[in-house]
């Protein structure tokens, strides 16, 4: 099926090839319940009853409709103060996941959501994660995509962040032949804050499409987006980041930074960092940069006896380090580091 | 306390002359109209064919699905060709009194005496005055109006006309190619370096009309040129259209500085297209000040085709009440060791909207290229709008690329610092706004284009409150 995904909130010239992502993909329907999932928690209330409203942006009409109609896993979490882990294990019997996760942040919580393939077969994931961070609550949410190299992964994320609430999001986007993320943050309450950090690593013919949109609506709200990526082979990456200062967000601040390390002269990196502003008492900054591995750093590390490949791995991991450190679960952190090594071999 | 910056003083630019034309084509766009323009201009057959082909392309292309709203523009209400009651002259004394007075008030003849090597002045659809200094003629420099160039240098024009900017680039390029009239042609021979600039000034007086001038500049190998372009129009209640086209060829080792001071009236739709093809070791610098028009969509473009080619873009946009100025810069790195430096600033006030829209593309073969982009936007009140929409498309690893943008209001800390040094709050804010614009305004050709002082009349002192 030909689909148009991840539309930018504001269009620009069609010739720039960034307004949306066009793909020809198989979207499964009528699939059985996804069974291989581990839920690790103590006190938070976890149910299956979710009533999602239409997404503000999302991953396009077709995928949203597919998710609403054919969802084979739903999880609603009302947080208590604790660590929560959701691990979706794709295997030969569970190759397709169309899921919904709703997180109601009543209390501070650390939530890790991991998707990983324990199979070589092609997997499909079409997910929606909706978060409401209530007044004064602090949520640390980590998403880890370790799906295999044949898989397609589509994730649509939406946040409503209320007064004095803090949402720290970390997206570890390593897996999948195609990985598409739509992230929308509705930063509503006075002093509400959202910090989003992402790493991505693409290689071969993979496609990475990241569309991050933050709307600052409340006074003294804050958004901080930091994206660190590596591209190898013929991989193509689109990063679209929008910070939208809406009327009334007096004294709001928004920062956005993307750095893309290019390991191949065939890789393509497109970035569209947008600042939209209808309020004067704000501060908005964005920066993007691309380049290859610094020769001086390589020389220094290799002069200490490491091979070229080991040196590159070390540099990549040092770029990613401050983001990987946000994974509080040591086991998952180890899996992430091993996956980075594997993908750079 | 809020900083209030006055609108640009437009008294001089709003002088309206009677719409006293020799010939005005009927409004709208059709094959008959295009053929009539071609007949009026006594086009050779090849040019007539280009016009008709362009009209076909125009009809096939859609309006852009992005950018400012263009729904107010009705081609059925626009006269695409207005011939003033004047022939092309080489002496200001021969230019009719009312037209001469207009250019006098804009300061063009005065600037010509003081600091320009040549001047072209277009009034509505035709060039009414063109001159160039004798010594440049002797060096082989050609500076003339486009119609003369089509007839006197057909081979050069044929080789370059609508080649840098292809007819199907977008709808308004196709429109331009169908109905173009006026504009300047410049050829600077190999190795000739012009020490002082040439300037063309475009004035649109007639209401409900369009100006479609074509500028074609070829700076041959090792040559150098500074070209200044100025534009203005008085304000009418009906929409006017400007869809000019600028094609620049900067050959190997050549240098071109292209400065534009654009101060169209606030009923103008300014849908202009400018591109440069830059050869080996060559450089083009764009300096742009956009102050006027109701709607602007203007994104000069450098295509760096030769090794070591360079480009710099320095631009400032000032949008006041009722203005939607969508401007920016495009650069394509197509060869090794190319470099680009972009510095853009914008100021929005009184409900005006500024958008910085841009493209940087570093293609596969542009190894060791460098690109640095910086854009800053200043919001002077909470009823205005400022957007930054840059696309950075990097297709090779051997590249150093950086882009940064800032948006915000005047910093309280800076005001505090300056006030602690004895300045009043008014003076402190005025100084900060001036300082914000300074890196760009210092690059504008103030000393040559006399109208500059009138254009950036920010009138900061006494207007802060």
Asked whether residue B226 is assigned to any structural domain, the reply reads: yes
Say if residues A232 and A261 touch (Cβ distance below 8 Å).
no
Distance, CA of B443 to CA of B456 (rounded, Å):
13
Q: What is the per-residue DSSP string for A275-306? A: EEE--SSEEEEEEEEEE---HHHHHHHHTTT-
- All residues of chain B having their beta carbon less than 8 Å from the beta carbon of residue A269 are 392-395
Which range has the worst mean pLDDT, A224-238, B233-247, B434-448? B434-448
Helix and strand numbers, DSSP H then E, in chain B:
11, 25
For chain A, the residue count is 345
For residue B432, the model assigns a pLDDT of 80
Angle between helices B412-420 and B425-441 (to 10 degrees): 110
Distance, CA of A37 to CA of A17 (rounded, Å):
38
Residue B282: how many other CB atoms lie within 10 Å? 28
For residue B171, the model assigns a pLDDT of 96
The partner residue sitting opposite A11, judged by closest CB among B66, B385, B393, is: B66
**pLDDT at A173 > cutoff 70:** yes
Q: State the smallest CA–CA distance between residue B403 and chain A in angstroms.
A: 5
Q: What's the rounded mean pLDDT across residues B211-217? A: 95
Q: State the smallest CA–CA distance between residue A213 and chain B in angstroms.
A: 13
Higher pLDDT, A14 or B63: B63
Q: Do B391 and A270 touch (CB under 8 A)?
A: yes
Q: Do A290 and B398 touch (CB under 8 A)?
A: no
Asked whether residue B5 is assigned to any structural domain, the reply reads: no
- All residues of chain A having their beta carbon less than 8 Å from the beta carbon of residue B394 are 260, 262, 268-271, 290
Residues in a beta bridge with A102: A76, A130
pLDDT in tens, B352-362: 999 999 999 99
Residue at token pair 């908005």? A284
- The dihedral through the CA atoms of B459, B461, B463, B465 has a sign that is positive
* Chain B contact for A276 (CB, 8 A cutoff): yes
* Chain B contact for A283 (CB, 8 A cutoff): yes
Residue at token pair 């080789």? B159
For residue A65, the model assigns a pLDDT of 94
Residue at token pair 């209640």? B237
Q: Do A285 and B403 touch (CB under 8 A)?
A: no
Q: Do B384 and A280 touch (CB under 8 A)?
A: yes
Q: Name which of B183, B336, B345 is nearest B248 in CA terms.
A: B183
For chain A, domain boundaries: 2-293
Which range has the worst mean pLDDT, B29-43, B238-252, B419-433? B419-433
For residue B23, the model assigns a pLDDT of 78
Distance, CA of B428 to CA of B422 (rounded, Å):
9
Helix (H, G, I), strand (E, B) or coil at A332: helix
Asked whether residue B438 is assigned to any structural domain, the reply reads: no
pLDDT in tens, A109-125: 999 999 999 999 999 99
pLDDT in tens, B102-131: 888 777 888 777 778 788 888 888 888 888
> Predicted confidence band at B9 (pLDDT cuts at 50, 70, 90)?
low
Q: What does residue A213 show for φ and ψ, rounded to 5 degrees?
A: -130, 125
Q: Write down the H helix ranges in A163-307.
A: 295-302
Does an H or E element contain B177, and which?
A: helix B171-179
Distance, CA of A242 to CA of A8 (rounded, Å):
8
Which range has the worst mean pLDDT, A13-22, A93-102, B436-445? B436-445
Does an H or E element contain A85, and which?
A: strand A82-90
Q: Is the ipTM value over 0.95, yes or no?
A: no
Cα–Cα distances in Å, from B310 out to A12, B148, B186, B367?
26, 32, 21, 14
Distance, CA of B449 to CA of A287 (rounded, Å):
35
Say if residues B385 and B321 touch (Cβ distance below 8 Å).
no
Q: What's the rounded mean pLDDT across residues A242-248? A: 96
Residue A203: how many other CB atoms lie within 10 Å? 17
Higher pLDDT, B432 or B441: B432
The partner residue sitting opposite B402, judged by closest CB among A279, A284, A287, is: A287
Q: Which domain holds residue B159?
A: 21-416
Total domains in the fold of chain B: 1
Buried b (16+ CB within 10 A) or exposed e, A272-296: bbbbbbbbbebbbbbbbbbbbbeee
Q: Do A12 and B357 touch (CB under 8 A)?
A: yes
> Predicted confidence band at B453 (pLDDT cuts at 50, 70, 90)?
very low
Does an H or E element contain A310, and which?
A: helix A308-324
For residue B451, the model assigns a pLDDT of 44
Q: Do A16 and B65 touch (CB under 8 A)?
A: no
For residue B445, the model assigns a pLDDT of 60
Q: For residue B336, what are the contacts with CB-CB under 8 A and spacing of at least 6?
A: B307, B308, B365, B366, B367, B368, B369
pLDDT in tens, A250-299: 999 999 999 999 999 999 999 999 999 999 889 999 999 999 998 899 99
Asked whether residue B306 is assigned to any structural domain, the reply reads: yes
Distance, CA of B455 to CA of B346 (rounded, Å):
15
Does an H or E element contain A343, and which?
A: helix A330-344
**Range of A20-34, B179-193, B234-248, B257-271 with top mean pLDDT:** B179-193
Q: Do A12 and B391 touch (CB under 8 A)?
A: yes
Q: What's the half-sphere exposure (Cβ side, CA atoms, 13 Å) at A101?
A: 27
- All residues of chain A having their beta carbon less than 8 Å from the beta carbon of residue B380 are 280
Q: Do B359 and A16 touch (CB under 8 A)?
A: yes
Q: Do B402 and A262 touch (CB under 8 A)?
A: no
The partner residue sitting opposite B401, judged by closest CB among A10, A263, A290, is: A290
pLDDT in tens, B395-424: 999 999 999 999 988 888 888 999 999 998
Q: What's the rounded mean pLDDT across residues A323-332? A: 96
Mean pLDDT of chain B: 87
Q: Do B391 and A289 touch (CB under 8 A)?
A: no
Q: What's the rounded mean pLDDT across residues A232-261? A: 96
Q: For residue A343, what are the contacts with CB-CB under 8 A and spacing of at least 6?
A: A174, A201, A203
| Chosen from B328, B367, B376, B395 to mutate, greatest number of chain A CBs within 10 A | B395
Q: Do B393 and A270 touch (CB under 8 A)?
A: yes
Helix (H, G, I), strand (E, B) or coil at B307: coil
**Range of A57-61, A177-181, B28-32 with top mean pLDDT:** A177-181
Which range has the worst mean pLDDT, A200-214, A296-310, B428-442? B428-442
**pLDDT at A20 > cutoff 90:** yes
Which range has the worst mean pLDDT, A245-249, B216-220, B266-270? B266-270
Angle formed at CA A166 by CA A160 and CA A171, multiple of 5 degrees: 80
**pLDDT at B2 > cutoff 70:** no
Token pair of A124 as six digits: 């499909």
For residue B10, the model assigns a pLDDT of 59
Angle between helices B45-60 and B31-40 (to 10 degrees): 150
Residues 139-198 of A with CB under 8 A from B: none
Say if residues A83 and A109 touch (Cβ distance below 8 Å).
yes
**pLDDT at B162 > cutoff 90:** yes
The partner residue sitting opposite A287, judged by closest CB among B389, B394, B404, is: B404
For residue B224, the model assigns a pLDDT of 97
Asked whether residue B258 is assigned to any structural domain, the reply reads: yes
Q: What does residue B170 show for φ and ψ, rounded to 5 degrees?
A: -165, 175
pLDDT in tens, A191-215: 999 999 999 999 999 999 999 999 9
Q: Name which of A174, A165, A242, A236 is nearest A206 in CA terms.
A: A236
Higher pLDDT, A15 or A259: A259
Q: State the smallest CA–CA distance between residue B362 and chain A in angstroms.
A: 10
Q: What does residue B258 show for φ and ψ, rounded to 5 degrees?
A: -115, 110
Buried b (16+ CB within 10 A) or exposed e, A53-66: eebebbbbebbbeb
Q: State the smallest CA–CA distance between residue B181 and chain A in angstroms.
A: 27
Asked whether residue B428 is assigned to any structural domain, the reply reads: no
Q: Do A276 and B387 touch (CB under 8 A)?
A: yes
Token pair of A210 as six digits: 């990241």
Q: For residue A248, what are the contacts with CB-CB under 8 A and spacing of at least 6?
A: A217, A218, A219, A279
Mean pLDDT of chain A: 95
Which range has the worst mean pLDDT, A15-29, A249-263, B324-338? A15-29
User: For the CA atoms of A312, A314, A315, A317, what is the dihedral angle to 10 degrees?
Assistant: 120
Q: Do A269 and B394 touch (CB under 8 A)?
A: yes
Q: State the smallest CA–CA distance between residue B345 and chain A in angstroms.
A: 14
- In chain B, the residue whose alpha carbon lies closest to the alpha carbon of A252 is B408
Buried b (16+ CB within 10 A) or exposed e, B213-250: bbbbbbbbbbbbbbbbbbbbbbbbeebbbbbbbbbbbb
Say if residues A152 and A208 touch (Cβ distance below 8 Å).
no
Q: State the smallest CA–CA distance between residue A167 and chain B in angstroms.
A: 24
Asked whether residue B61 is assigned to any structural domain, the reply reads: yes
**pLDDT at B446 > cutoff 70:** no
Asked whether residue B1 is assigned to any structural domain, the reply reads: no
Which range has the worst mean pLDDT, A191-205, B10-24, B36-50, B177-191? B10-24
CA B272 to chain centre: 7
Say if residues A241 and A206 touch (Cβ distance below 8 Å).
no
- In chain B, the residue whose alpha carbon lies closest to the alpha carbon of A290 is B401
| Chosen from B170, B369, B407 to mutate, greatest number of chain A CBs within 10 A | B407
Say if residues B381 and B398 touch (Cβ distance below 8 Å).
no
Residues 3-32 of A with CB under 8 A from B: 10-14, 16-19
Token pair of A44 as six digits: 């938070």
| Chosen from B367, B392, B409, B411 to mutate, greatest number of chain A CBs within 10 A | B392
């Amino acid at each position: 099926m030909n689909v148009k995904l991840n539309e930018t909130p504001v269009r620009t010239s069609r010739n720039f090839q960034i307004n949306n992502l066009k793909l020809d993909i198989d979207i499964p329907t009528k699939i059985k319940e996804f069974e291989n999932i581990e839920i690790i928690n103590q006190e938070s209330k976890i149910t299956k009853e979710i009533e999602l409203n239409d997404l503000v942006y999302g991953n396009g009409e077709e995928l949203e409709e597919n998710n609403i109609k054919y969802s084979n896993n739903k999880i609603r979490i009302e947080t208590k103060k604790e660590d929560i882990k959701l691990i979706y294990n794709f295997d030969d019997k569970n190759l397709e996941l169309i899921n919904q996760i709703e997180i109601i942040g009543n209390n501070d919580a650390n939530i890790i959501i991991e998707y990983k393939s324990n199979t070589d077969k092609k997997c499909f994931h079409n997910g929606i994660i909706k978060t409401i961070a209530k007044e004064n609550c602090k949520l640390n949410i980590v998403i880890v995509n370790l799906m295999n190299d044949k898989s397609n992964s589509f994730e649509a994320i939406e946040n409503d962040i209320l007064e004095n609430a803090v949402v720290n999001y970390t997206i570890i986007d390593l897996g999948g032949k195609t990985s598409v993320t739509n992230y929308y943050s509705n930063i509503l309450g006075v002093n509400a804050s959202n910090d989003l950090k992402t790493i991505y690593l693409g290689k071969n013919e993979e496609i990475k499409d990241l569309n991050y949109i933050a709307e600052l609506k409340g006074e003294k709200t804050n958004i901080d987006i930091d994206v660190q990526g590596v591209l190898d082979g013929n991989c193509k990456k689109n990063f679209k980041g929008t910070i939208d200062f809406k009327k009334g967000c007096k004294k709001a601040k928004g920062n956005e930074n993307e750095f893309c390390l290019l390991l191949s002269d065939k890789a393509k990196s497109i970035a569209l960092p947008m600042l939209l502003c209808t309020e004067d008492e704000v501060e908005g900054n964005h920066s993007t940069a691309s380049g290859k591995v610094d020769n001086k750093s390589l020389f220094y590390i290799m002069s200490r006896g490491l091979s070229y490949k080991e040196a590159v791995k070390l540099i990549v991991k040092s770029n990613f380090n401050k983001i990987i450190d946000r994974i509080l679960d040591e086991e998952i952190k180890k899996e992430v580091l091993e996956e980075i090594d594997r993908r750079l071999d | 306390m809020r900083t209030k910056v006055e609108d640009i003083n437009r008294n001089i630019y709003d002088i309206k002359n009677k719409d006293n034309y020799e010939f005005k084509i009927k409004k709208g766009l059709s094959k008959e109209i295009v053929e009539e323009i071609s007949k009026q201009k006594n086009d050779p057959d090849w040019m007539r064919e280009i016009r008709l082909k362009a009209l076909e392309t125009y009809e096939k292309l859609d309006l852009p699905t992005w950018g400012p709203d263009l729904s107010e523009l009705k081609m059925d209400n626009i006269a695409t060709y207005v011939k003033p009651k004047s022939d092309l002259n080489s002496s200001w004394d021969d230019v009719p009194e009312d037209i001469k007075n207009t250019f006098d008030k804009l300061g063009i003849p005065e600037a010509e005496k003081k600091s320009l090597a040549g001047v072209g002045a277009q009034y509505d659809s035709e060039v009414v005055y063109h001159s160039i200094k004798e010594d440049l003629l002797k060096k082989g420099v050609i500076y003339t109006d486009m119609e003369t160039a089509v007839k006197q240098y057909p081979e050069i024009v044929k080789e370059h006309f609508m080649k840098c900017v292809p007819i199907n680039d977008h709808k308004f390029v196709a429109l331009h190619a169908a109905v173009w009239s006026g504009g300047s042609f410049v050829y600077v021979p190999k190795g000739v370096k012009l020490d002082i600039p040439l300037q063309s000034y475009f004035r649109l007086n007639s209401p409900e009309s369009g100006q479609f001038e074509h500028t074609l500049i070829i700076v041959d190998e090792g040559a150098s040129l500074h070209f200044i372009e100025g534009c203005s129009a008085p304000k009418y209640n009906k929409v006017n259209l400007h869809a000019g086209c600028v094609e620049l060829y900067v050959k190997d080792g050549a240098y071109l500085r292209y400065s534009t001071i654009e101060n169209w009236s606030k009923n103008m739709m300014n849908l202009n297209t400018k591109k440069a093809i830059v050869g080996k070791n060559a450089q083009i610098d764009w300096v742009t000040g956009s102050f006027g028009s109701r709607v602007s969509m203007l994104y000069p473009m450098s295509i760096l085709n030769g090794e070591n080619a360079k480009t710099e873009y320095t631009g400032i946009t000032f949008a006041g009440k009722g203005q939607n100025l969508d401007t920016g810069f495009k650069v394509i790195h197509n060869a090794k060791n190319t470099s680009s430096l972009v510095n853009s600033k914008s100021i929005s006030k009184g409900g005006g909207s500024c958008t910085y829209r841009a493209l940087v593309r570093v293609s596969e073969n542009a190894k060791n290229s460098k690109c640095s982009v910086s854009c800053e936007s200043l919001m002077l009140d909470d009823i205005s709008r400022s957007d930054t929409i840059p696309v950075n498309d990097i297709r090779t690893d051997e590249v150093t690329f950086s882009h940064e943008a800032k948006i915000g209001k005047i910093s309280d800390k800076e005001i505090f610092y300056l006030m602690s040094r004895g300045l009043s709050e008014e003076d402190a804010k005025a100084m900060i706004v001036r300082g914000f614009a300074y890196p760009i305004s210092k690059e504008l050709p103030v000393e040559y284009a006399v109208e500059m002082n009138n254009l950036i009349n920010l009138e900061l002192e006494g207007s802060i409150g």
